[in-house]
Each structure stands twice: as structure tokens, then as C-alpha cells.
Chain A
Amino acid sequence: QVQLQESGPGLVKPSGTLSLTCAVSGDSISSPYWWSWVRQPPGKGLEWIGEIYHSGSTNYNPSLKSRVTISVDNSNNQFSLKLNSVTAADTAVYYCARGGYSSGCLDYWGQGTLVTVSS
């Protein structure tokens, strides 16, 4: 059973950098899947942030591309998200998932972690 678990600070100050890690179990991050980040602001719909392959190749949503970096740590079977210059609009539940645009689906998801941007 593939499981994903997000971790990171639940509170980030405005203009700071949001950093989250997704630990993967039940599958190797080096398997032939892409790995994605998705977010959902309170009361709003879901937004795909971007994806990474174990080789390090990435694709980002154009709406966030200038502020996002997704990286992979093959030795620890995890991948990470950094979002800089955050504002209150970046307050959301952040999910990691297996798959993405290049894989054609998001078949396994973490349960999500709430990140609040506030001073």
C-alpha cells in the first residue's frame, strides 16, 4: 500500500518561504511515476502546484512557477516543496500525491497539512 505523509511548519510569516516534505512509503520514489504537490485554500477548490520525476525533471503550474521549487531526495525516498514570497493567499491545505500531468493521474495522496501564512 502506497502511503504519503506531508510534514513541515504549520505557520509561515508573510514574505517568508513555505517548506514541506513528503515522505513516501510502500513505493520507491525512483519508480516510473511523477510526484506532485497540490493545494486547497480554505473554502476554495484544488490547485495543482507542480510535479517532479526521480531524475529531477520538474513541471510547474504557470500560475506559481516564479515562486516554486520542487526537489527530490532519492536516498530518503521523499520529495519537497518550497514556495517563496508567501502571502495570506498561500494559506491552504497542502497535499502530496503520486502521479501528475506527465503520469496522467494522481492515484495516491497524503492526507494533507494546513499551512497558515500569518505574522
Chain B
Amino acid sequence: EDKVVQSPLSLVVHEGDTVTLNCSYEVTNFRSLLWYKQEKKAPTFLFMLTSSGIEKKSGRLSSILDKKELFSILNITATQTGDSAIYLCAVEDGPGGGADGLTFGKGTHLIIQP
């Protein structure tokens, strides 16, 4: 079964709207949750979250983690057409001390209409 579940899978909004993307997870040894933006090929790093309740911000994007309820949200305010992309949520799961890789959700395909 899926360990990382993103919703919605696709979303179409108008320029200027605010969107909230969701990511829930279920893993054994949670270490961190990461958000990536994928436009054409290479996923580009947005945020890495390890602690509950601490919001991370970068311009119009922000994200927060809830380790008790096992989810994270990614907010984008005042959306622009350049925000159109697939947003990927991934969880780093492992005992630590080594490389464990990431478990990804299916992504949210966001389309911003002019």
C-alpha cells in the first residue's frame, strides 16, 4: 500500500488564487519530509521539514509539518502561471547513519490558468 499519499492528484486554478496541497505519510522511522517541484525533468528542491509546527517559507510558498497527525501541507499564495508543475512530496525513512533514499507520493499536477 502507499506510504506517501498526496491530494489532490490534479488541480486547476486561476492566476492569483491560493492553493493548498496535501501530503500524508505512514513510515516506520521518519526522518524528514521533502517537497519538490517538477516542471520538465529534474525535480527541484523546495523544502525539507523535520520538526512539527515550524513553518518554512520561501517567497509565496510555505510549508508545515504535523508529526502527530502525519501530514504536511504546501501553500502557494498569489499563484502565477510559472507555478504550473507537478509538486512531489517525499519522505526520508530509515534508522539514520546512512543513505536511505526517498519514498515519493504520486504528486499533485497543478495548472494555473491566466
Asked if A pairs with B, the answer is no
List chain B positions with a Cβ less than 8 A from chain A: none
